[in-house]
Structure 1
Amino acid sequence: MAFSATGWFARLPISMVGLGLVLLVSSSTGSYALAGSVSAASVVASAVTAPFQARLVERRGQHVMLPILAGVNAATLGGLVVVVHAGIPTPVPQVLAAVVGASSPLVGSYVRARWTHRLEGRPELQTAFALEALLDEVVFMVGPPLVTVLATTVSPVAGLLTAMVAGLVGSLMLAAQRRTQPPVHAHRAGSGTKPALGWATLGPVVVACAGLGVLFGSAEVVVVAVASEAGHRSASGLLLAGWATGSMLSALITGAMRLRMPPMNRFRIGAAVMAATMLPLPFISELGVLGPVLFLAGFAISPTLVASMAVVQRTVPPSRLTEGMAWTTTGMAAGVAAGAAVAGQVIDAAGGRAGFYVPLAAGLLTALVAFAGRAPSRPDSAVASPSDDATELTGAH
């Protein structure tokens, strides 16, 4: 349980760095397009390198790689803050942001791999996945308001520096807990044949996660823009925290239920509901209305992400679980990058409210891809799943 608590602390930057970069760059330059490009560079690099990082960690061990990744990440993020604050032009901020993304530890995947190592085949595994989904949402409750308050009341760089410290300390503490880490898999270091990942099922899930990433990444930028246009920029963090609060509450509900529906079916339904929750957003002009709508929309997030991780856990072989989860992280990170960049362009061209059409379109695409995917072929008895036990993602929100 200690590794889960430590992993929560190490995950704080996930909810702080993207928003912190948007706040810093937009306040320094006045351009949401530039802010989106810097944020996008980070998540694109993370998306491209995530599977390779996961393989390296599985081959060398979390205790070896986490300190290296966290050290590089902290140093580069600090350099990025200096560069942006000093007004150094493109492409230097984007290059540094890319290094930040590439070196960002996949803490959620590594913590879930630890749970799977300890609880594989036991009903408690899905309870652990639900716990991690809950902790993910607490991260997104705490991070956005914290980085917004620090950026708007202390300094534009204060939130990012706080995220840097949290990520470094949390990752080092997680790496120190060697007893709970998964073993190194021998086939990684040798030339033997790797067990198949099951791309017929995993592929559509990864694409759907990319759609969710577009939704999350664009919504974050749009909420900042809408709040700023309304003259309440500091409210953006509270609005995003409300969204995460709804997701957290749904994670609590999901974790307490014994669901019988197969995870792929739940993933499809969750994706459809998420698309439906985006429908009213382009037509809302008052922050007092937007807040409750985002809160209610958040209830669709955790069940969908929990189901996506359950599908992955049922599809990929145990020896490649971290890599399978990293591919969903890759898809979501790529989507976040695209969503932030596209939303920034739309906002600069047509205003904040028009930007909400980006997450709406992403939600519809996600639902279509989810329904086109193939259900896992592994029988229900082979693994623990939310439908048979107690209950999981993400985010890569």
Structure 2
Amino acid sequence: MVTSYRRVLTEPGTLRFSATGLVARLPISMVGLGIVLLVSASTGSYGVAGGVSAAYMLANAGLAILQGRLVDNLGQARVLATAAGVFGVAMALLVLSVEADWPILASYLLAAVAGGALPQIGSCVRARWSHALSDPGDVQTAYAIEAVADEAVFMLGPIIVTVLATAWDPVAGIVVAVVACVLGTFAFCAQRSTEPPAHPHHRSAGRRAPMPWATVVPLAVVSAALGTLFGAAEVATVAFSGEQGATTYAGPLLALWALGSLVAGALTGAVTWRRGPAIRVRWGAFAMFAAMVPLHFVDSVWLMGVVLLVGGLAIAPTLIGTLSLTEQTVPAGRLTEGMAIMQTGLVAGVAPGATLAGIVIDAQGASAAYLVCVAAGLVAALAAQALPRH
């Protein structure tokens, strides 16, 4: 296993752009929660805080694909550096608007600008790996590295921003996230030797290379369904812990889920697969569906930890397969756009999943809310079966 990872990380420049990419995408798991903590502390309203955070996340999901297309046309350095600058300024003004008690509309607008400008580092890192490596097996290993990095971001980010906001000041968590994004993005953009070439589209050249929608659409549905599953599982697990009188165990339970995914992602990158990524997406999506079924019947915190740990094993392999299949089928000139579609689907599904789970919890309790996860897993499994067989 170590040999596979050493081989890709010793390629010139790969370790540097992967490490800076990790730092640059810390805000993915920090800013939304940081906004909630900041606005709620200032206004005393979680409703307003959730609305401002939602404006940020919706703008991010809505404009990520456009940013991916711009990256393909103009190059990573030009687009990401500009986006990082806009993001930093918008976030600074957002904090000022909250602290100075500006009209709440200003906070909504600034949150939307910041969300729309957030650099799409995750998609760009994977596009850079695809450019730097020629062997499909090595690309698979590289995507596993990024899947593990994503898990680390989602495990560490909320902890960092919560500790800073509660132990120091609500602004501190956001400041750290913004600094990590801006400095990490500029450091990433400075590494021009590994940057994929831009593919500018000129009208005189005719139509752009066609997007393989027969593959991209089912994969996007799989991504959105998994996002819904993630959002619902997080809310349901928090509620389950509360019902069991063990609210403090919510974090460790979700950490066990992420740990299962992290371990599976590391193992996935070390294996030389004989079957293509489409097969792995089909089986992985089905495994995610199957892993959600037992959660409805669990009534013990300790057993829930075991079930979540095992269920997490299906997450990273499915996501790695999804992005690997995207990399293999989308034209090089539209690869970042294709990656952004998958990332957008994943992010866009989280809020509806959390909302549906919350509604079910209020009506039927936490155990019933896990059925939302089952339904989302079933949608992912069915969408994966719609992938082309060739």
1:94-123 per-position Cα deviation (integer Å, ceiling 9, x unaligned): 444332321111111101111111213554
Partner of 1:166: 180
Partner of 1:394: none
Partner of 1:200: 214
- More moved, 267-276 vs 154-163: 154-163
* Displacement of 1:8: 0.7
1:101 aligns with 2:115: yes
* Displacement of 1:254: 0.7
Equivalence map 1:137-216=2 (5 Å): 137-187=151-201, 191-216=205-230
1:94-153 per-position Cα deviation (integer Å, ceiling 9, x unaligned): 444332321111111101111111213554222222222222222223223323333444
* Displacement of 1:238: 3.6
How has the CA–CA distance of structure 1 residues 345 and 54 changed in structure 2, closer, same or farther, with 3 Å as cutoff?
Answer: same
Determine which of 291, 305, 319 is the counterpart of 2:333. Answer: 319
- CA contact 1:145–1:237 (8 Å) conserved in 2: no
How has the CA–CA distance of structure 1 residues 36 and 287 changed in structure 2, closer, same or farther, with 3 Å as cutoff?
Answer: farther
- CA contact 1:59–1:189 (8 Å) conserved in 2: no
- More moved, 42-51 vs 243-252: 42-51
Partner of 1:248: 262
1:52 aligns with 2:91: no
Return the alpha-carbon distance in structure 2 between the equivalents of residues 331 and 89 of structure 1. Answer: 32
- CA contact 1:45–1:99 (8 Å) conserved in 2: yes
Letter of the 1:165 counterpart? V
Equivalence map 1:213-228=2 (5 Å): 213-227=227-241
Partner of 1:307: 321
- CA contact 1:137–1:247 (8 Å) conserved in 2: yes
Letter of the 1:109 counterpart? S
1:73-105 per-position Cα deviation (integer Å, ceiling 9, x unaligned): 233334445556788786555444332321111
How has the CA–CA distance of structure 1 residues 216 and 180 changed in structure 2, closer, same or farther, with 3 Å as cutoff?
Answer: same
TM-score normalised over the length of structure 2: 0.84
- More moved, 357-366 vs 146-155: 146-155
- More moved, 93-102 vs 127-136: 93-102
Give the number of the structure whose alpha-carbon radius of gyration is greater. Answer: 2
* Displacement of 1:210: 0.8
- CA contact 2:231–2:349 (8 Å) conserved in 1: yes
* Displacement of 1:297: 1.8
Return the alpha-carbon distance in structure 2 between the equivalents of residues 70 and 204 of structure 1. Answer: 31
Partner of 2:91: 77
1:361 aligns with 2:389: no
* Displacement of 1:283: 4.3
* Displacement of 1:189: 7.6
1:370 aligns with 2:384: yes
- More moved, 121-130 vs 309-318: 121-130
1:336 aligns with 2:350: yes
Partner of 2:56: 42
Return the alpha-carbon distance in structure 2 between the equivalents of residues 29 and 284 of structure 1. Answer: 38
1:310-360 per-position Cα deviation (integer Å, ceiling 9, x unaligned): 111121111211111111112112212322343444455555555433333
- CA contact 1:148–1:236 (8 Å) conserved in 2: no
Specify which structure has the bigger relative contact order, considering alpha-carbon pairs within 8 angstroms and separated by 6 or more residues.
1
Return the alpha-carbon distance in structure 1 between the equivalents of residues 116 and 382 of structure 2. Answer: 30
How has the CA–CA distance of structure 1 residues 364 and 83 changed in structure 2, closer, same or farther, with 3 Å as cutoff?
Answer: farther
- CA contact 1:59–1:188 (8 Å) conserved in 2: no
How has the CA–CA distance of structure 1 residues 8 and 367 changed in structure 2, closer, same or farther, with 3 Å as cutoff?
Answer: same
3-state DSSP class of the match of 2:73?
helix
- CA contact 1:32–1:344 (8 Å) conserved in 2: no
What RMSD, in angstroms, separates the aligned Cα atoms of the two structures? 3.1
Equivalence map 1:213-292=2 (5 Å): 213-227=227-241, 235-284=249-298, 286-292=300-306
How has the CA–CA distance of structure 1 residues 280 and 150 changed in structure 2, closer, same or farther, with 3 Å as cutoff?
Answer: farther
Partner of 1:386: none
Letter of the 1:66 counterpart? L
1:133 aligns with 2:118: no
* Displacement of 1:273: 1.0
1:249-270 per-position Cα deviation (integer Å, ceiling 9, x unaligned): 0011111111112211110111
Letter of the 2:138 counterpart? E
How has the CA–CA distance of structure 1 residues 363 and 87 changed in structure 2, closer, same or farther, with 3 Å as cutoff?
Answer: farther
